[in-house]
A and B are shown apart, each in its own frame.
Chain A
Amino acid sequence: MVSGAVGSVEVTPVQAAQVVVGHLVPGMPWMSDGSLTPLQDQAVWQFRIPRVLLAGLAGAGLALAGALMQVTVRNPLAEPYILGVSSGASVGAVLVIVLGSAAVGGLSLNVAAFAGALVACGCVAALARKNGALSPTRMILSGVALGSLFSAITSYLTISTDAQNVVSVLFFLLGSVSAATMPNLLGPAIALGVSCAVAAGLARSLNALMTGDESAASLGVDATRLRAVLLVVASLLTGTVVSVAGGIGFVGLVVPHVARICVGADHRRTLPVTVLGGAVFLMAADLLARTVAAPTEIPLGILTAIVGAPFFLWLMRRDGADRAGLGR
């Protein structure tokens, strides 16, 4: 509501709430009695609310994907982009920006980015497979190597294009939720819903996987199969978010750690806190992104790092961080 109220068109939080309720529940008196101007209504319902919702969905999605990737490769440095998802998406998006939609078969920027993300993930999965099993180390290394390759392509495309395109490219690379509309919320919403359901069902198995492959086997969890499921879920979720909101950094790496510091590493507690925390963090970051330097907007990815990094470092230094395995 606060986010709905803040912006160049003046709206009070109460009015913002009235707009939302008015659109959801038909027949509310304030929608027709002239107490809200059409401009206010439009600003809240068509621009600010989709934007807030996208920030929430993207934050929750990236944080969840990060938590899943960290346990998949059993590495605290893992994040949603570790398998080259964002660099793959960037190539897709930048191709559209630089060469135009027609050059890539008429795909829109969002679809091209999603396709790029899937291609990257598919490559990593294929390269990391050996004897039918996905090795965590090979996943990380092929992800990093392919990521560099894709970044190089993106950089080349960026540097060889017109100056006006560079800003669009940068905006995508750093991530932003400013282009949100109600229809393009659908993809991330579905992906997040499905991922949350799958993750909730797997929480116990994730705890077992955390203690090692052999240990997981002795607890009745097939690490190879679980890892494949997690890879698919985390990649689709990340790909969907990145294709709409660009490469917002930091959320997927840090929010899961913050959740572990707060409630411990048992996934049955960590995952819900991660999802909620990611949503709240990114909504707050977006609110700052469009108010701090108003009327100019700061790309969201810059803000998440500027605000998030010091906060995380402070949290990490506290005693409670031992709970997240950060005590060593």
Chain B
Amino acid sequence: MRVEIDRVGVTLGGREVVHEASFVVEPGELVGLVGPNGSGKSSLLRTLYRAVRPSAGAVRVGGDDVLTLSSREAARRVAVMLQDPSTEFDLDVYETVLLGRGPHHSSFGRDTAQDVAIVEEALRNTEVDDLGGRMVATLSGGQRQRVMLARALAQRSPVLVLDEPSNHLDISHQHDLMSTVRGLGRTVIAALHDLNLAAQYCDRVVVLAAGRVVADGAPAAVLTPDLIRATFAIDVRVLGDPPVLAFRPLPRAVTRTSAPVPSST
């Protein structure tokens, strides 16, 4: 399903955090959204699942503005792997993943055998099937993150949004997650901090800086040392084949706001 971010602006507390952001995600594409802290990645993603209303522009999923869809239809099209669920009243892992089936049911709908099969498959795909009866609050950050992925998978939506999906995961689970997501064949938009992970798994990378899209293209074309230095204020060299980004902090005197764009690498 095609996702279209069309000149989207987001204003929070009177401050514009996203300004005229535009890009398109074609069906089946895995697009990485990268940018420094506070660049507006999460705010932009929130407009996709209607947690935030854009102050300008439109977000279209499958051709329809998400704001014109019913809440439930929107959730059938877009599933989200969120950072951390609230656990004041705690559900166990199985019940949490079962929440993903909610958008497919009417008010009094009961769980079907198909729901159970989908939930069990999602638990297996994310390797949390042995945690079924554990309360979510008792899990480690990484386990919890995999449960949240399982919940999003159980939603069986054509579009998947991931907000910092790998920040609590160990290295092998980071790669498991990215290749699982890659192998789904769904349209995926993921906000990522790890540029190497983005370079390795994404079809395209969109770079956000101070709320604006500053680059959009294939990872190799976009994640150049020049752009990284200008956007993230860090020195970087590209090593080896396949290429790997090696980072080194800039000298203290060079602040983030005045990071120079060097002439060569």
Smallest Cβ-Cβ distance to A67: which chain B residue = B89
CB contact under 8 A between A327 and B82, given known A204-B102, A219-B100, A220-B72? no
CB contact under 8 A between A210 and B89, given known A217-B71, A220-B76? yes
**Contact size range, A:** 20 to 34
Contact B90 A265, beta carbon cutoff 8 Å: yes
Choose the segment among A49-57, A284-292, A305-313, A318-326 that binds chain B (4+ C-beta atoms closer than 8 Å).
A318-326
Choose the segment among B91-99, B167-175, B191-199, B202-210 that binds chain A (4+ C-beta atoms closer than 8 Å).
B91-99
CB contact under 8 A between A70 and B89, given known A207-B102, A214-B46? yes
Known: A210-B89, A218-B161. 11 other contacts (CB 8 A): A201-B108, A207-B102, A211-B85, A218-B75, A218-B79, A219-B100, A219-B102, A220-B76, A264-B95, A266-B95, A325-B89
CB contact under 8 A between A75 and B88, given known A214-B51, A220-B71, A328-B137? yes
Q: What are the residues of chain B within 8 A of A201 when measuring CB–CB?
A: 107-108
Q: What are the residues of chain B within 8 A of A218 when measuring CB–CB?
A: 49, 51, 75, 78-80, 82, 152, 161
Q: Is there a chain A Cβ closer than 8 Å to B179's Cβ?
A: no
Contact A212 B85, beta carbon cutoff 8 Å: yes
Separation of A218 and B105 alpha carbons in the complex (Å): 15
Q: Which residue, of A214, A260, A328, has the highest number of chain B Cβ atoms within 10 A?
A: A214
CB contact under 8 A between A265 and B86, given known A220-B72, A222-B71? no
Contact B85 A325, beta carbon cutoff 8 Å: no
Contact A210 B51, beta carbon cutoff 8 Å: no
Separation of A325 and B91 alpha carbons in the complex (Å): 8
Q: Is there a chain A Cβ closer than 8 Å to B103's Cβ?
A: yes
Q: List 18 A-B contacts (CB under 8 A).
A: A202-B107, A207-B91, A208-B99, A210-B86, A211-B85, A214-B46, A215-B86, A217-B50, A218-B51, A218-B79, A220-B70, A220-B74, A222-B71, A264-B91, A265-B95, A266-B91, A266-B95, A324-B89
Smallest Cβ-Cβ distance to A222: which chain B residue = B71
Smallest Cβ-Cβ distance to A265: which chain B residue = B89
Separation of A328 and B88 alpha carbons in the complex (Å): 10
Contact A325 B108, beta carbon cutoff 8 Å: no
Q: Is there a chain B Cβ closer than 8 Å to A254's Cβ?
A: no
Please provide the 6 A-B residue pairs with the shortest distance between their CB atoms, ordered closest to farther.
A220-B75, A218-B80, A212-B86, A220-B103, A201-B107, A220-B72
Separation of A222 and B161 alpha carbons in the complex (Å): 18
Q: Main secondary structure on chain A at its contact with chain B?
A: helix
Closest Cβ of chain A to B210, distance in Å, is 24
Q: What are the residues of chain B within 8 A of A119 when measuring CB–CB?
A: none
Seen from chain B, the residues whose Cβ lies within 8 Å of a Cβ on chain A are 46, 49-51, 70-76, 78-80, 82, 85-92, 95-96, 99-100, 102-103, 105, 107-109, 135, 137-138, 152, 155, 161
Contact B135 A327, beta carbon cutoff 8 Å: yes
Contact A211 B96, beta carbon cutoff 8 Å: yes
CB contact under 8 A between A217 and B49, given known A74-B86, A210-B88? yes
Q: What are the residues of chain B within 8 A of A324 when measuring CB–CB?
A: 89-90
Contact of A221 among B86, B89, B102 (CB under 8 A): B102
Contact of A214 among B78, B82, B155 (CB under 8 A): B82
Separation of A218 and B74 alpha carbons in the complex (Å): 8
Separation of A213 and B52 alpha carbons in the complex (Å): 11
Separation of A208 and B105 alpha carbons in the complex (Å): 13
Separation of A208 and B73 alpha carbons in the complex (Å): 15
Separation of A220 and B101 alpha carbons in the complex (Å): 10
Q: What are the residues of chain B within 8 A of A75 when measuring CB–CB?
A: 88
Q: Is there a chain B Cβ closer than 8 Å to A20's Cβ?
A: no
Closest Cβ of chain A to B191, distance in Å, is 14
Closest Cβ of chain B to A220, distance in Å, is 3
Q: What are the residues of chain B within 8 A of A264 when measuring CB–CB?
A: 91-92, 95
Contact A211 B91, beta carbon cutoff 8 Å: yes
Q: Which residue, of A212, A215, A323, A324, has the highest number of chain B Cβ atoms within 10 A?
A: A215
Closest Cβ of chain A to B159, distance in Å, is 11
Contact string against B for A residues 61-76, beta-carbon threshold 8 Å, 1 for contact and 0 otherwise:
0000000001100111
Separation of A75 and B86 alpha carbons in the complex (Å): 11
Q: What are the residues of chain B within 8 A of A265 when measuring CB–CB?
A: 89-91, 95
Smallest Cβ-Cβ distance to A74: which chain B residue = B88
Separation of A265 and B135 alpha carbons in the complex (Å): 10
CB contact under 8 A between A325 and B107, given known A219-B102, A220-B102? no
Q: Is there a chain B Cβ closer than 8 Å to A200's Cβ?
A: yes
Closest Cβ of chain A to B58, distance in Å, is 18
Smallest Cβ-Cβ distance to B136: which chain A residue = A211
Separation of A328 and B90 alpha carbons in the complex (Å): 11
Smallest Cβ-Cβ distance to B152: which chain A residue = A218
Q: What are the residues of chain B within 8 A of A328 when measuring CB–CB?
A: 137
Closest Cβ of chain A to B184, distance in Å, is 17
Closest Cβ of chain B to A270, distance in Å, is 9
Q: Is there a chain B Cβ closer than 8 Å to A165's Cβ?
A: no
Smallest Cβ-Cβ distance to A269: which chain B residue = B95
Closest Cβ of chain B to A253, distance in Å, is 14
Separation of A74 and B82 alpha carbons in the complex (Å): 18
Separation of A212 and B99 alpha carbons in the complex (Å): 12
Q: Is there a chain B Cβ closer than 8 Å to A205's Cβ?
A: yes
Contact B89 A76, beta carbon cutoff 8 Å: yes
Q: What are the residues of chain A within 8 A of B51 when measuring CB–CB?
A: 213-214, 217-218
Closest Cβ of chain B to A59, distance in Å, is 21
